[in-house]
Amino acid sequence: MRLFARTLLFFLGAITIQAVLTAGLIIGLVSRNNQNAARTELSEESTLIYENYNNWVRSIWKMSVRINQDEELMELSQNADDRSGEIRLVNRLTDSLAESGLDSFIVRKAGWADFIVLSDAYPYIRDFSTLVVDRTHPYVSLRKLEGQTFLSGTVTLQGGTTVFLLKNLDSDFFDQLKVRAHTRVLVSSDTEESAFGGFESSDPYWEVYDRELETGHYNLSFRSIGPLVLSDTENPVNLIVLISTEPYRSLLTRIGRIVFLVSLAVFALTAVTALLISRQITKPIEILVRAMRNIRDGDYDTSVEIDAAGEVKSLIGGFNEMADHLERNKATMDQYIQEITFLKEYNETVIHSLRAGILIVDRHLVVEKANGFFLESFPQDSGRPEGMNLDDLRAAVLDEEIIQKARDISGGRKETWSKIKREGSVVWDLKLYPLRFAPSDGEGRCVIELDDVSQRTELEQKIIQAEKLTSLGFLSAGIAHEINNPLSTILSNAQHLLSRPRDADDKVCLEWIEQETNRIAGIVKELLDFAHAAEGPSPESDVNACVTEVIRLVRYGLSSETDVDILLTVEPNLPSVKLPADELRQILLNLIQNAIHAVDGRGSIEVETAQIDKDFIIVRVADDGSGIAPELRPRIFDPFFTTKPDGVGTGLGLSIVYGFVKKAGGDISVTDNNGRGTVFSMELPVGGYEK
């Protein structure tokens, strides 16, 4: 019954909310329609009243023009100096008043003692002092006489007679202008509009909606109809139209009452209907609840047998299918758990079997996992390192630099980082990269891999030395040629000494012998120095010095039959680069030798050094040879890959160059040399710079 009660309350609440929303929607729609209709009605009524008002203005003006053009009136005005002439003029104007539909004519002539009123429509008006003339031609204006507003047509006839045509703007006048019975019309100056809220606007026409006044709610329109002429001032006058909105408000009230009554009836009908069918629903649901509790307690072999129909029968059938499905899923899940447990143990075995140290740290640099190789290489006093901070581990190779990089990677500020680091006699290849279990996992982790590459590094050094000896073999023929030249000179001068008596020239010949012998010694020394791997190489080197030295040696090895120009352009005062001199010379020798092979004995090679920014120096080696095919460029740095014939190259030269440059934190690229030849560009970090 608790479920039924909650369901019943839910539906009753839904009906209540629906009733409120429906009432709000209907009232809102009707209200908007009523507002639009009321505003349209106000605009149309205001326009019509204004047009009718203007018709009266035009009528008074036309009447004023006719009086001004009436020759008989002009003659009577000129002869109205005596009493009889005055009477004839007044009688003639009285006849005109009867035909005009106006309320009154007021006549005055210069020299008359007072105004003459040709009507008894306003017996209460005694003061006509505000009736003044400020123009010579006929005109219509608004005037105030003892609190009443009048439309006044003013005509000044020849002879000095002034006629004022008056129409009182009272309720009777406005009743003639309006169409709708619930419309009120009046005129008011700005100083008298406080009763309507003191509306102000610079527009000639404006509207105000749903304004609450003493007699109800109104929509108002204000239209400027000209100035009100007082004795010494003019005040703007507005034609005000008021249309009551009470009929619309009453309609909304009736609609709200109807919606409320309908909702109340639906509410009661729903409650009664729910009570009638509750027993057909709640009992099966109670049985289903007990069956679900059995499943919750682990008894999946549960089914419900109830004689029901309709949706309840479908619900029971669905429950029985669900229970059967859960039972099968439980068996499958147990199997999955066994497989996951096996995979976990398998992965643990794989990690601990790796012959490289593995550390996993969280964003706070706390160790979460360490494999067996790490513990063998860096045994800890406390046993297992899990739970220890990276700073507290006994591993000298994990210095401040690596700890900072691990902090950056686990914090998401860096993706990967690697470095070759020597610790005593062991060379470690350190790699750091992020570990995230899922895209939504915001907890960053860092994997630190420590690989002992001591044997591989030693092998690489041997390969480099072998490559260097291979390069020396290439230079041997040229150097032998250079050695033969000074030896020939020595032989020639020796023969010269034997063929002639000894005299002053002997001294010159001996000087030649000494000079050429020294040259031989210098060449041989430079060759031996280059071939000998220096012990304890400096971590930094002078780019310009290494380039100059290598080019000088290469020129020794060029045959006299070749036509190869090696052009050198260096930027002076370059800082040192973060690369040992021995490795830099090996890099330059490989690149220049490749360029010599590319030009095939005839061409030019350009070597250039420059500083591209405060952190990097660029070295370019360009040739105008045959170039490298685009499909081969991705493979030129692969070990043992070569385009030279068999027996002319090991395929290790560019691979060694690439390894040296990357190890130093630099970069190397190969591009086309404007359609002819190849350009190798190396970006090397300056000394002390850490990329």
Predicted TM-score of the model (pTM): 0.38
* Digit-coded pLDDT (tens) for 26-52: 777 777 777 788 788 888 888 888 888
Please answer whether residues 187 and 240 qualify as being in contact, where contact means their C-beta atoms are separated by less than 8 angstroms. yes
Is the predicted pLDDT of residue 607 greater than 90, yes or no?
Answer: yes
* H or E segment and range at residue 225: strand 216-229
For 414, residues 6+ apart whose C-beta sits below 8 A from its C-beta are: 405, 408
- Percent of all residues in the chain with a pLDDT value above 90, rounded to a whole number: 7
Distance CA 547, CA 562 (A): 21
Kindly report which listed range (434-443, 463-472, 501-510) carries the lowest average pLDDT score.
463-472
Confidence (pLDDT) at 8: 66
Is the predicted pLDDT of residue 391 greater than 60, yes or no?
Answer: yes
In this prediction, residue 485 has a pLDDT band, given cuts at 50, 70 and 90, of low
* Digit-coded pLDDT (tens) for 255-304: 878 878 887 888 788 777 766 666 666 677 777 777 778 877 777 777 77
Half-sphere exposure of 121 (CA within 13 A, CB side): 18
Confidence (pLDDT) at 548: 92
- Percent of all residues in the chain with a pLDDT value above 70, rounded to a whole number: 77
For 688, residues 6+ apart whose C-beta sits below 8 A from its C-beta are: 540, 578
Give residue 601's region: left, alpha or beta (phi > 0; psi -120 to 50). Answer: left
CB-based contacts of 561-566 (< 8 A; 24+ apart in sequence): 561/601, 562/601, 562/602, 563/601, 563/602, 563/603, 564/596, 564/599, 564/601, 564/602, 564/603, 564/604, 564/605, 565/603, 565/604, 565/605, 566/592, 566/604, 566/605, 566/607
**Cα torsion through 137, 141, 144, 149, rounded to 10:** 140
Distance CA 463, CA 3 (A): 83
Is the predicted pLDDT of residue 553 greater than 70, yes or no?
Answer: yes
Distance CA 108, CA 120 (A): 17
Is the predicted pLDDT of residue 177 greater than 50, yes or no?
Answer: yes
Token pair of 624, please? Answer: 């105008």
Is the predicted pLDDT of residue 308 greater than 80, yes or no?
Answer: no
Question: Among 34-38, 186-190, 563-567, which range has the highest average pLDDT?
Answer: 563-567
In this prediction, residue 654 has a pLDDT band, given cuts at 50, 70 and 90, of confident
User: Taking the alpha carbons of 473, 474, 477, 482 in that order, is the dihedral positive or negative?
Assistant: negative
Among the listed residues 151, 112, 146, 105, the one whose alpha carbon sits nearest the alpha carbon of residue 129 = 146
DSSP letters for 88-107: HHHHHHHHHHHHH--SEEEE
In this prediction, residue 232 has a pLDDT band, given cuts at 50, 70 and 90, of low
